[in-house]
Amino acid sequence: MQRLRTFLDSHTDNKDVANIIDGLMVSCKDIAYRLNLGSLAGVIGSAEQENVQGECQKLLDVISNDLIKDCLAAMPQVRGLASEEEPDPVACNKDGDYLVLFDPLDGSSNIDVNVTVGTIFSILKAAPGADGASESTYLQAGNQQVAAGYVLYGQSTLLLFSTGNGVHAFTLDPRIGEFVLERENISIPATTSEFAINMSNQRFWLPEMQNYVADLLQGEEGPLGKRYNMRWIASMVAEIHRILTRGGIFMYPYDSRDPSKPGKLRLMYEGNPMSMLVEQAGGKASTAFDDIMAIDPEAIHQRVSVVMGSADEVTTAISYHK
Ligand code: P6P
């Protein structure tokens, strides 16, 4: 069994990035421990406060955010951090060369019902002299990411990441407290018969998305000529993990409930890192109109519409939006 540190040392020449990923796992193991304790840890339930997104924070959202913040702030490699749970970026070490953006606990509405949640992270290079407390330091397109990954807190705790040379999966072995290599160079099948979308929003989608999903639902009698299955876990990390494991297409498209927002999911710490993983595994990640990782961000918490997964299926979805 190859431990994470051994793999990182042999897999990437960038020791700073290797140290950040390895160090980040200290806080993620703590999060996994607290989640596994569930109500026994006294941290299930609402924090009775809202985050910058206007979303009700769970106690574990706040605890996870603080654990990861403290972990990163102690790393000399980290110039600054940005979190879904922080209104503004946080400067860490002025001599650090990297920026870490993260969603500390994605899917946290599932915590109270014991359904899979996850931590998503994205690593960018800081420009020389750039201020780790300034939003503009972080506004880089997804194709500038030097690394991205997630920790999935499910029946087992998994780490998947990419530093630009494929996607690799590790399982936390609780007997030794270490992440050990499970799979290297994960590849997403180009085709799929499984789609993930929240159907309750159907009447709010663009007509193009309504037409595409209607054809998915027509199955073998429709123009797509095959029967599809549907999944919706309401936890992006779990959906993308399923897609990296067996293929599929995940969609959270633009909807007219709030025309000022291009979508629900956040570009910098959900859309971009998951796009890097999906494309490094041979999949495709789009807004249905543009490549997600080509978007020049204008704000750290900006949202994005998401269509990602098996390359051929995403290409089909995009064809409805031409
Ligand atoms: P809905 C979780 O809150 C999240 O950001 C993603 O992880 C998930 O895919 C989506 O929102 C679920 O949204 O509207 O189905 O609750």
Task: Catalogue the long-range contacts made by 146-149 (C-beta closer than 8 Å, 24 or more residues apart).
Answer: 146/14, 146/17, 146/98, 147/17, 147/20, 147/21, 147/122, 147/123, 148/120, 148/121, 148/122, 148/123, 148/272, 148/273, 148/274, 148/276, 148/277, 149/21, 149/120, 149/121, 149/273, 149/277
> Last residue of a domain, which of 131, 152, 183?
183
The pTM (predicted TM-score) of the whole model is 0.96
Q: CA-to-CA distance for 235 and 110, rounded, in angstroms?
A: 8
Same domain as 40, residue 153: yes
The ligand 1 atom nearest the CA atom of 106: 7
- Residue 181 has which token pair? 């290599």
User: For the chain, how long is the longest CA-to-CA vector?
Assistant: 61
For residue 281, the 8-state DSSP code is T
Whether ligand 1 lies within 6 angstroms of the CB of 103 is answered as no
Task: For a ligand 1 pocket test, name from 64, 264, 307 the mutation site with the most ligand atoms within 8 angstroms of its C-beta.
Answer: 264
> Last residue of a domain, which of 183, 212, 227?
183
Closest residue (by CA) to atom 15 of ligand 1?
234
Closest residue (by CA) to atom 9 of ligand 1?
236
Same domain as 152, residue 81: yes
- DSSP per residue over 82-100, as a string? EETT-SS-EE--TT--EEE
Q: CA-to-CA distance for 71 and 92, rounded, in angstroms?
A: 10
Residue recorded with tokens 């099948």: 189
Domain CATH for 303: 3.40.190.80
Closest residue (by CA) to atom 13 of ligand 1?
234
- Residue 64 has which token pair? 């996870």
Half-sphere exposure of 201 (CA within 13 A, CB side): 17
Same domain as 302, residue 245: yes
Helix or strand or coil: residue 189? coil
Closest residue (by CA) to atom 10 of ligand 1?
234
Helix or strand or coil: residue 290? coil
The ligand 1 atom nearest the CA atom of 109: 3
pLDDT tens over the chain, length 322 residues: 899 999 999 999 999 999 999 999 999 999 999 999 988 877 677 777 777 777 777 788 899 999 999 999 999 999 999 999 999 999 999 999 999 999 999 998 898 899 999 999 999 999 999 999 999 999 999 999 999 999 999 999 999 999 999 999 999 999 999 999 999 999 999 999 999 999 999 999 999 999 999 999 999 999 999 999 999 999 999 999 999 999 999 999 999 999 999 999 999 999 999 999 999 999 999 999 999 999 999 999 999 999 999 999 999 999 999 9
Asked if residue 138 belongs to a domain, the reply is yes
Cα 107 to middle of ligand 1, angstroms: 6
State the Rg of the chain over Cα. 19
Domain CATH for 105: 3.30.540.10
Residue 251: its pLDDT value, please? 98
Same domain as 160, residue 54: yes
Task: For a ligand 1 pocket test, name from 231, 265, 306, 308 the mutation site with the most ligand atoms within 8 angstroms of its C-beta.
Answer: 265
Same domain as 204, residue 278: yes
Count other Cβ atoms within 10 Å, centred on residue 39.
10
Same domain as 256, residue 110: no
Same domain as 163, residue 23: yes
Whether ligand 1 lies within 6 angstroms of the CB of 257 is answered as no
Domain containing 213 equals 194-319
Asked if residue 136 belongs to a domain, the reply is yes
Asked if residue 188 belongs to a domain, the reply is no
Same domain as 199, residue 161: no
Same domain as 114, residue 152: yes
Same domain as 147, residue 24: yes
Same domain as 64, residue 128: yes
Whether ligand 1 lies within 6 angstroms of the CB of 91 is answered as no
For residue 236, the 8-state DSSP code is H
Residue 57 phi/psi, 5-degree rounding, is -85, 140
Domains contained in the chain, number: 2
